[in-house]
Structure 1
């Protein structure tokens, strides 16, 4: 599974082995197309089904039926005839559908006739005072440890934020015998009224009954404080306490060893943006999403985007998006092939999404920090630093690089990009669309110089690495 790609060209290359990537891989391989699936994790599943084939948590009730449904889908992809490579870093993709990939310490370029990007979602930045202290983690990181190693917190722990994953993680931690002292719910009170027109669609969706049962499970075992309007972590060398302000204006402080933060997820756009795919600011989900047609095709011919990387929709929607993108690839490469119209299934899987998007729309104060709160963790740039740069002429994220090096660290803007865009937009009185995003280029993931040195020494390979 860790060997380099066997061929220099494939009919279809799928990037990402989450729900969308696994579904797309299975479909194209079964249709007889040479298919390569590349994923940077040790095994299939993405974040939703992480460690589905290797988790030490064997009691199915602890992680839930939704998690274990991934086992069959991962098995179908494995047995479908595709070439699957894990621990593979895709660091480049261009308009000619040439990919730069590193596996096992070496790099290579491969060509594809069609590319399906299924890189999924990442957690939204949650920049609060003290969020860089040891002892502060994202909920997604904690869930990764839970699924892959069976680890749960056993000291004073607080979960703070909003969104379905926060409640799911809380339930899973409790089922595995972990400790949670408090849940601090930052969902704005006004969001409940705003989401009300979409409540019926949500109540008849796949999520309602499961979500309600999960929240009841957590509330029966943990004190939940709702309407939190301010949040800060404090400590000298590591996290020692969490302070917060309730909806009534009362400030409280809790001693704590672990703080798990979550404010929803957003599309992982770095690879698609670096390839030149057009993106637009999504005002409902407050993030950048690719411009796609109904089949997931992007602004670059031959590149499709499926799953949460196309816009947050959840695991079931990701599956159908992956299958739709695969069927369009099959039709493009095998014009006589018969394909199905899967749009009704996708529509059903997306039912109720608007309710969740509106209900869990993060409050402004948790997206746009102030003062000395760190914005760019890699370069330790504060909100004040960004605003000072705007005051002396920085007009957008790319100009800000020259002033403060924001977005130029190892994460390549993943942890600060949305914050920088919204912070600069507010400061300049413009929309996020007008302010724009970082101009991303290959390599979009850190790789070693020795990996680049292992590339073929041709003019084409050199141009691929140094192209602008």
Structure 2
């Protein structure tokens, strides 16, 4: 549905994952005119993808488990609300004054909002290792999309390489879906596990023990399945000419080579930052998560007083924490819209903050235990970092050593100018520049982001009035 530009929305929420669903539902329940935009055909985001087609006790429920099925109640409450929901819609431009341009089914609408909540989630961290651009290499998230979206599964053995909680979760989901797993290559370093022990007392508070039990249960399930597992993996290389033929790596000091035609990589997720960059929001380098995130207050408010960020787009927190952050952002937006007073906001927020704190208790332990390997943060000289423009780490490093920053390197090498607009290479280029400079990344050490955020055709733009 197209809304006249003269009738601004009270609030526009972007992203129909847990944070966006919770935020938009709460806003609507307080009588606001709220619009939810999402690129996918169904609500749920990546974590709850296909949830409305997942029957209790059905195939999806069996494969994906109780945490996935929690999304059903979240979506049901959303469906019962008065939220105007526009699926298959891409926000491709936005201004700090909250003029929004969204493409929907071949046409572009110009929208206006008094408040904007970005719940655009995270993206998988790029894993630039030798051979990662070969056909047959996918992200772990791509496999998960197949399983969640259509319960499809590869029929050829897959090598899973990476680390972190989502790595083990995906491996068990692959098992349940019947995906043959040739091997698990765990890149987590034992020394990080030791250093993470200092965060264990906090992780034993709140919901932390339940997360730890789930993690140990996943590992036990994989051990029972007798999947070949290599630990402390380093120097990973994907071998092949026109497509994947195998993997080479070191594990505990020994060199190994395995035949493989399908390799899935995963080294955690990072906030999607292009929208907040375009809107001029201030950002900070998160030294624990090795990624940029927007600077937010306790309500998710950015440096722009009309823009909130909730969920993994503001820093990696997980699905259940994202849900509570979405409601906190909505409560603050409601007071800015004059729908509630501060006492009401704070009373409702107290409940959300207790739940949020419980779900965040385990986060410091996970961040310390699973940092990204150094060889993907600052790859070897001949490894491609910008897939779109085929730019190597060496080319970036040579210019960084001359004192050039990400935007100057972008102009010189075209890295970050392809269809992904720097989403894949941006964080890696930032870290190469910081390495050359000898200091940690700063908030401005990233590409300048310009519209369109997502590919849009001239025909779609021409539909603007």
**TM > 0.5:** yes
Q: In the alignment, is residue 418 of structure 1 matched against residue 427 of structure 2?
A: yes
| Residue 415 of structure 1, CA deviation | 0.4
- 2:246–2:258 contact (8 Å) kept in structure 1: yes
Q: In the alignment, is residue 445 of structure 1 matched against residue 446 of structure 2?
A: no
- 1:395–1:435 contact (8 Å) kept in structure 2: no
| Distance change (3 Å), C-alpha of 1:240 and 1:55 | farther
Q: In the alignment, is residue 396 of structure 1 matched against residue 405 of structure 2?
A: yes
| Residue 76 of structure 1, CA deviation | 1.1
Range that drifts further, 349-358 or 426-435: 426-435
Q: 2:255: which partner in 1?
A: 251
| Residue 167 of structure 1, CA deviation | 0.7
* Cα distance in 2 for residues equivalent to 1:320 and 1:300: 21
Q: 1:231: which partner in 2?
A: 236
- 2:292–2:443 contact (8 Å) kept in structure 1: no
Q: Which string of whole-angstrom CA distances, capped at 9 and with x for unpartnered residues, describes residues 222-252 of structure 1?
A: 12111012101011111000111112x2110
**Equivalent of residue 219 in structure 1, options 216, 223, 244:** 223
| Distance change (3 Å), C-alpha of 1:142 and 1:75 | same
| Residue 334 of structure 1, CA deviation | 2.4
Q: In the alignment, is residue 327 of structure 1 matched against residue 325 of structure 2?
A: no
Q: 2:25: which partner in 1?
A: 26
* Cα distance in 2 for residues equivalent to 1:358 and 1:290: 21
Report the TM-score when normalising by structure 2. 0.94
Q: In the alignment, is residue 46 of structure 1 matched against residue 45 of structure 2?
A: yes
* Cα distance in 2 for residues equivalent to 1:184 and 1:59: 26
- Residue-pair matches, total: 452
Give unmatched runs, 5+ long, in structure 1.
Answer: 457-468
| Distance change (3 Å), C-alpha of 1:59 and 1:104 | closer
* Cα distance in 2 for residues equivalent to 1:5 and 1:236: 52
- 1:27–1:323 contact (8 Å) kept in structure 2: yes
- 2:283–2:292 contact (8 Å) kept in structure 1: yes
Range that drifts further, 13-22 or 95-104: 95-104
Q: In the alignment, is residue 297 of structure 1 matched against residue 263 of structure 2?
A: no
- 2:36–2:84 contact (8 Å) kept in structure 1: yes
| Residue 109 of structure 1, CA deviation | 1.2
Q: 1:347: which partner in 2?
A: 357
- 1:167–1:215 contact (8 Å) kept in structure 2: yes
Q: 1:195: which partner in 2?
A: 196
Secondary structure (helix, strand or coil) at the match of 2:244 reads coil
| Residue 254 of structure 1, CA deviation | 0.4
Q: Which string of whole-angstrom CA distances, capped at 9 and with x for unpartnered residues, describes residues 302-322 of structure 1?
A: 100000111101011100000
* Cα distance in 1 for residues equivalent to 2:2 and 2:321: 31
| Residue 147 of structure 1, CA deviation | 0.6
| Distance change (3 Å), C-alpha of 1:127 and 1:90 | same
* Cα distance in 2 for residues equivalent to 1:199 and 1:282: 20
* Cα distance in 1 for residues equivalent to 2:162 and 2:275: 28
- 2:30–2:339 contact (8 Å) kept in structure 1: no
Q: In the alignment, is residue 143 of structure 1 matched against residue 144 of structure 2?
A: yes
Secondary structure (helix, strand or coil) at the match of 2:265 reads strand
| Residue 348 of structure 1, CA deviation | 1.0
* Cα distance in 1 for residues equivalent to 2:324 and 2:284: 23
| Residue 434 of structure 1, CA deviation | 7.0
Q: In the alignment, is residue 363 of structure 1 matched against residue 362 of structure 2?
A: no
* Cα distance in 2 for residues equivalent to 1:317 and 1:91: 27
| Residue 388 of structure 1, CA deviation | 2.6
* Cα distance in 2 for residues equivalent to 1:131 and 1:447: 28
Q: 2:168: which partner in 1?
A: 167
Report the TM-score when normalising by structure 1. 0.94
* Cα distance in 1 for residues equivalent to 2:429 and 2:278: 18
Q: In the alignment, is residue 240 of structure 1 matched against residue 245 of structure 2?
A: yes
| Residue 214 of structure 1, CA deviation | 1.1
Q: 2:119: which partner in 1?
A: 118
Q: Which string of whole-angstrom CA distances, capped at 9 and with x for unpartnered residues, describes residues 384-437 of structure 1?
A: 11123334x451110011210010111011100110000121123232117700
Runs of 4+ aligned residues of structure 1 deviating over 6 Å after TM superposition are none
Secondary structure (helix, strand or coil) at the match of 1:433 reads coil
Q: 2:437: which partner in 1?
A: 428
| Residue 9 of structure 1, CA deviation | 1.5
